[in-house]
Amino acid sequence: MALIQVKVKQVICFKVDLGKGSFYCQIMLKYIILAIGMLSLLMVGCGEEKQEKITITWWHFWTDANIKPVIQGIIKDFEAQNPGITIDLVDLTWADGHDKIAIAFSSGSGPDIVELGSDWVSEFSTTGHLCDITDRVDSIKSRYLMWGPAGWQDKIYAFPWVLGTRVLFTNTDLLTRAGYDADFIPHTWPEFYNACRKMNQIDGSTFGFGSNSAERHRLYKKFLPFLWANRGEILSSDQKSCRLNTPAAHEALEFYLRLCETGLTDTQRRLEDAFLEGRIGFIISGDWLLKRIEREKADINFNTMLIPGPDGPVSSRSFAGGEYLAINNECQHKNEALALIRHISSPSNQLRFCLANRTANPSSKVAAADTNFLSQPHFNTFIRQMQTAQMPPVHPRWVYIEAIIETAIEKALYDAKPIATILDEACREIEEILNE
Amino acid sequence: MKSVNGRLKGWLLFSPWIITFAVFWLFPLVYSFILSLTNYRLMSSDISWVGFENYIRLFSDVDFVMALRNTAIFVIGTIPFTTIIALSLAMLLNDKFRGRTFFRATYFMPTITSMVVIALIFTNLYARGGYLHLLADMIGLAPPPNGFLLSTKTALASIMAMDIWMASGYYMLLFLGGLQTIPEELYEAAKISGATRWQQFRYVTLPMLKPVMLFVVVINSIKSFQVFVEIFVMTKGGPLNSTLTAVYFVYESGLRKFDFGYASAAAYILFVIIGIISILQFRFFKTGWTA
């Protein structure tokens, strides 16, 4: 501005000096003022343009050729509704996505929005990297499922998007060969165990139950439904003590081991292979197995059902996981980011996503009640199982607790020690972590 | 002035290596040592100096002790076999016979195949119903009912066997190179002196192969101490930590639990062990081994 004043003064001086030529100089002055005015307008315009254009970066995991176009479509709709906002979609893979997110957050270069696995939210929220959205979601909380893993110490840091649970798959041909009707559904643990035992005795090549072996980060997910169904729990509600050495936990582990004796023990992938080959009667698996059966056109007659509880369907429990959307605490456009999350997880977009993904796991209760899901028997099973599915406790040191639980189950599977001793040891180790 | 220019040019030519060395090797090495003396956790701003506490904790950590034990078994159990098989193959393929190039190529093939691919193939071969499992059953070896990798008794040995199969081809090629540098005159002189085939091998081949042997043993030891991909793909350290190795422990501590201070201390202990073993091997080949 000072420079402009000087120039104007110079022009005025010029006018005075020239005398007769003052008319031209006045024109010149007008042009200069006009030019400055236009330049200022242009600069103001540019400033406004800069403020208007917002880019929000979203890191996600859905790179599947059937799913990504749907996500891109959802984003396009949002951009059309919000002309000043552009979304930069970045693909992650499950192999190293977690590490990339952790490194990005710790180096201060995290994305505006990030998709997180349900057991990662506490890990990132307790270190202050996620934005507290408690007040912003208070009014809509009742419309969505599974807020548990989204929070830590009464605050909410993430939005539940796509959930997932496991149900019981059965080979109906093996059921009939074992003397049951094809539509037989075991409701209680004794019914389930007997069916597994009979299927295991058909001939040397078939198995009753497909149980997971010492497979890290998976094994505990197979045991926890039995623990929860037997009204057991991992931690006390105040998270100050471990409850794995209670009689309920002891019984649950004993029952899991008895089931393992009635079948094949292997990795999840190989168990699913054996199920598709018609060699396993019962297997606990997720919606990915439905997709696999469809994709591979597997020649198998199967049914899906709730995982039996000790005393019937009322005590049926399963393991729930899910994808959560969180905003980086460093994000400059939190309102816009939240608007995008709300758009992605709206009932209609969740329905769009789930139908493309051939799954029935929306977090929106409205979407879950859609006839597309309820009319399809297998999807219906998943929707019903989700009603009683549970997630592990939210704790910043969950990775350590998970490892201890898995080691305990492995020890029991490999007859390393008596169950009571194994569970006592596990409890002691977990309590050391809780008291740190 | 000329010499200054020359020195400058020299440094300039060296600079890509110096920069790479400093940024990607020296700095991480020093920084990870500093980290090992702290309680640093990734994503946490709370960092404090703990001295050698991480190192003390490691030696009372049953998982780490188990990882060191498994790593030692892996190293001791693979190196002699790999070396002997590689040398034997090299001796065989050094003779002229029809199809020699084909055999050389096929023995070397596992080396150029991705470890992940090989590990996945072997996971299936070792599983219940897999070809190796069926074969063992057929010849009456009573394999573990759920497959080799799901038994605490056979999991590590199975991975070691796969590693020997995979690594032998590469070291065979190194030995083959070494064999071809031995002058033919030495063998002729030995023959004239009445040396048998064994004596020729013992007093001509082995001493002449000493530098290659040193290289093979040192490199193979370092690689075996750092075994990771096989474990990651095939067992993830299980069952019951029976295949947990030192590098996999570092990975779990660092990238699963984000306990970078602890993971750095574990990595440093491994670094020191590898350093000591390598020095001992150099000394042995320099003075102790008079082939």
ipTM of the complex: 0.78
Of A286, A317, A321, nearest in space to A150 by CA: A321
pLDDT tens string A341-372: 999 999 999 999 998 888 878 899 999 888 88
pLDDT tens string A205-225: 899 999 887 777 888 999 999
Kindly report the three-state secondary structure assignment for every residue of B59-79. Answer: HCCHHHHHHHHHHHHHHHHHH
pLDDT score recorded for residue A6: 41
| Range of weakest confidence among A114-118, A212-216, A299-303, B183-187 | A212-216
φ, ψ at A87 (rounded to 5°): -105, 130
Q: Tell me if B233 sits within 8 A of B119, measured CB to CB.
A: yes
CB-closest option in A103, A266, A399 to B146: A266
DSSP per-residue codes, A65-120: TTTHHHHHHHHHHHHHHSTTEEEEEEE--TTTHHHHHHHHHHTT---SEEEEETTT
Secondary structure class of A210 (helix, strand, coil): strand
| Range of weakest confidence among A92-96, A321-325, B25-29 | A92-96
pLDDT tens string A284-293: 999 999 989 9
Contacts of residue B278, Cβ cutoff 8 Å, sequence gap at least 6: B218, B221, B222
pLDDT score recorded for residue A45: 46
Contact B147 A128 (CB under 8 A): no
d(CA A405, CA A402): 5
Contact A266 B127 (CB under 8 A): yes
- Taking the alpha carbons at both ends of chain A, their separation in whole angstroms is 61
pLDDT score recorded for residue A49: 46
Residue B123 corresponds to which tokens in the numbers above?
A: 């996971």
Contact A127 B44 (CB under 8 A): yes
Q: Could you tell me if A34 lies within 8 Å of chain B, comparing CB atoms?
A: no
A152 contact residues in B (CB cutoff 8 A)? none
> Is the per-residue pLDDT at A9 higher than 80?
no
Q: Hunting for tokens 């936990």 — which residue is that?
A: A249
Contacts of residue B1, Cβ cutoff 8 Å, sequence gap at least 6: none
Q: Tell me if A380 sits within 8 A of A373, measured CB to CB.
A: yes
Low-confidence stretches of chain B (pLDDT < 50) are none
A400 contact residues in B (CB cutoff 8 A)? 257
Mean pLDDT of A187-201: 94
Confidence of residue A5 (pLDDT cuts 50, 70, 90): very low
pLDDT score recorded for residue A44: 47
Q: In Å, how far are A103, A126, A268, A420, B255 from A96, measured between CA atoms? A: 11, 21, 20, 37, 10
List, in sequence order, every residue forming a beta bridge with A57; answer none if it has no partner: A88
| Range of weakest confidence among A119-128, A190-199, A274-283, B75-84 | A119-128
pLDDT score recorded for residue B114: 92
A214 contact residues in B (CB cutoff 8 A)? 150, 235, 238-240
pLDDT score recorded for residue A1: 39
Element (H, E) at A130: none
Strands A318-327 and A158-165: antiparallel
CA A271 to mean position of chain CA atoms: 24
Contact B43 A105 (CB under 8 A): yes
Task: Give the chain A residue whose CA is nearest to the CA of B256.
Answer: A399
List, in sequence order, every residue forming a beta bridge with A328; answer none if it has no partner: A130
Task: Give the chain A residue whose CA is nearest to the CA of B148.
Answer: A266
CB-closest option in A99, A103, A214 to B239: A214
Mean pLDDT of A49-75: 86
Q: Tell me if A255 sits within 8 A of A148, measured CB to CB.
A: no
Confidence of residue A35 (pLDDT cuts 50, 70, 90): low
Contact B42 A103 (CB under 8 A): yes
Of A432, A402, A426, A431, nearest in space to A118 by CA: A402
Kindly report the three-state secondary structure assignment for every residue of B157-197. Answer: HHHHHHHHHHHHHHHHHHHHHHHHCCCHHHHHHHHHCCCCH
Confidence of residue A2 (pLDDT cuts 50, 70, 90): very low
d(CA B204, CA B171): 20
Q: Could you tell me if A213 lies within 8 Å of chain B, comparing CB atoms?
A: yes
pLDDT score recorded for residue A373: 79
pLDDT score recorded for residue A337: 95
Mean pLDDT of A92-101: 88
d(CA A93, CA B56): 36
Residue B169 corresponds to which tokens in the numbers above?
A: 């081809």
> Is the per-residue pLDDT at A11 higher than 50?
no
Q: In Å, how far are A267, B14, B15, B215 from B4, measured between CA atoms? A: 66, 15, 16, 38
Strands A85-91 and A54-60: parallel
> Is the per-residue pLDDT at A51 higher than 80?
no
pLDDT score recorded for residue A32: 59
A414 contact residues in B (CB cutoff 8 A)? 152, 239-240
pLDDT tens string B141-186: 889 988 999 999 999 999 999 999 999 999 999 999 999 999 999 9
- pLDDT, chain A, mean: 86
pLDDT score recorded for residue A39: 57
Q: Which of A219, A264, A266 should be substituted to probe chain B, the one whose Cβ sees the most B Cβ atoms within 10 Å?
A: A266
| Range of weakest confidence among A99-108, A223-232, B219-228 | A99-108
d(CA A190, CA A211): 17
Say what percent of chain A tops pLDDT 70: 88
d(CA A306, CA B6): 79
- CA angle B67-B71-B75, nearest 5°? 175
Contact B255 A99 (CB under 8 A): yes
Task: Give the chain B residue whose CA is nearest to the CA of A217.
Answer: B236
Residue type, B133: H
Long-range residue pairs from A189-196, CB within 8 A, at least 24 positions apart, any chain:
A189/A255, A189/A308, A189/A309, A189/A310, A189/A311, A191/A308, A192/A259, A192/A282, A192/A308, A193/A255, A193/A258, A193/A259, A193/A262, A195/A281, A195/A282, A196/A259, A196/A262, A196/A263, A196/A281, A196/A282
pLDDT score recorded for residue A24: 52
pLDDT score recorded for residue A396: 82
pLDDT score recorded for residue A123: 83
Confidence of residue A18 (pLDDT cuts 50, 70, 90): very low
> Is the per-residue pLDDT at A180 higher than 70?
yes
- pLDDT, chain B, mean: 91
Task: State the pTM of this model.
Answer: 0.81
Q: Could you tell me if A217 lies within 8 Å of chain B, comparing CB atoms?
A: yes
